[in-house]
Structure 1
């Protein structure tokens, strides 16, 4: 047996010891992880056969009662830091450009890949922080590793087509390293402009499984893009009281897509602000939708 095969078997054994094995739930292939803390959100309203949901959000409960230090450090029960064993900071050279990333999970043969794009003022540290945003990035990292996937948090140099070109190159590399398995691009806040640019890149969308927009700017022309022609699934999460990108504009786009029978889903967090989706988005629900949508 080759040393590569021995290494793979050792890694699988380590994962089985690190995480409890659970059967895939009926709602999708992604195994649960701390669902009792992250996935049991009260639904106030449902439309479009469940595709659109208004989610109960309360700042006193979902920030003050969840964090040891509000917006700085979540309580310990929301995180599992042993996942850091599978985390590495790297500087990649893609298309002649250097790109700093944090990678969590496999380098090759990932079952799926998630790439998270931060907003203005952020870098790769934002998407790799275990304790901010209610521990939601820690959960995403654990879901990736538990389910044989890979998670990338890159530092985006700009939110224009130049910065998007770096991410397009990362998407293609992830697709190739995983032997054609799903690659999901998630963009938060101003990072949504990167998703918009990538959706218009005829080459890049060939390597994508879907898009996740977390409190991002609406894209009125999305249905004319190469991504839309491929019917790439889109998942929106938005705060109803977002003062940066008003929710009604994103809801209008979602409704337009549903009218066109497009594979889309939206979670609207009642009273939530601009940063609420990064904290409250249910990553297991997102991944199960992305991996099963047609």
Structure 2
């Protein structure tokens, strides 16, 4: 990326949100139940740790973790005190209404995470404490425990209208936090929202990074505003995903890494379509993004 492109991107962010430059010095998130949620074992590493193949075993990581498999995690994985910081809201975002679950303060967040669900979901999926092995409960606790805010919106469509809704939420979150980092995470079909946001110059300028979990690959990403701004992208995927095959996403990662682009990939060996939402280590991924 040229110095001119970098300077223009930084100037736009600084003009829109004067606090954005300070966000580059964000402190890493403190541990929270890392022994339970850390990756169970790294089978292989490449690119200096940029690409990791992580051990995944259904009998251990679902049956051994859940009280009711795929429906309710064991109690030791969740801490429900965080629900005192949780609220369901309908936000008016410049004339666009959006139903969200917010966890954490609505002003002054040290960082913000936005999770976009896939087809058939709504805000309840990203707010469920007990599904997906308790991983959303951990994200809530990581956010609140580190002064951040987490949003789980109900996305009504995965087209231009849905992208516009999420762009408005990104802008609101950035304004309310004084320009501190906003991380957009998208699962499954929700990845269409991430790739759409990557083409929106203003929305991309407000982001600190993106996470794509079990999503579709975007062959045109390298033409986007986010790519030109070198927005960090974290990928996680199951090697046996039958909805969006992992090979396409791995190929995109390889292309980005070959251009020295800030990208990271976690591949869950034998994992299926829903595995990344259950198994992605939020603290590991967010620290990598925030430290960029």
TM-score by length of 1: 0.90
Q: Distance in 1 between matches of 2:39 and 2:261?
A: 27
Q: Runs of 4 or more off by more than 6 Å in structure 1?
A: none
Q: Deviations along 1:172-205, whole A, 9 cap, x unmatched?
A: 0100100010000000000000001100011111
Task: Specify whether residues 40 and 254 from structure 1 end up closer, same or farther in structure 2 by C-alpha distance, changes over 3 A only.
Answer: closer
In structure 2, runs of 5+ residues without a counterpart are: 1-26
Cα distance in 2, alignment partners of residues 210 and 253 from structure 1: 16
> How does 1:1-150 map onto structure 2 within 5 Å?
29-150=28-149
**Count of residue correspondences:** 266
- Range that drifts further, 129-138 or 87-96: 87-96
SS in 1 for 2:201: coil
CA deviation string 1:36-67 (max 9, x = no partner)? 00014200000000000000000000000100
Answer yes or no: is 1:163 the counterpart of 2:165: no
* Counterpart Cα distance in 1 of 2:207 and 2:271: 29
Instruction: Extract unaligned runs of 5+ from structure 1.
Output: 1-27
Deviation at 1:243, TM superposition (A): 0.2
Q: Distance in 2 between matches of 1:177 and 1:98?
A: 17
By relative contact order (CA 8 Å, sep 6+), the higher-ranking structure is 2
So what's the TM-score if we normalise by structure 2? 0.90
Please tell me whether the aligned partners of residues 129 and 136 of structure 2 are also in contact (alpha carbons under 8 angstroms): yes
Instruction: Give the superposed CA RMSD.
Output: 0.7
Q: Is the 8 A contact 1:95 1:166 kept in 2?
A: no
User: Residue by residue, what CA displacement relative to the aligned partner does 1:93-122 show, whole Å, maximum 9, x if unpaired?
Assistant: 113221000000011110000000000000
Cα distance in structure 2, aligned partners of 1:203 and 1:255: 27
CA distance, structure 2, for counterparts of residue 261 and residue 97 of structure 1: 38
Distance in 1, Cα, partners of 2:91 & 2:110: 21
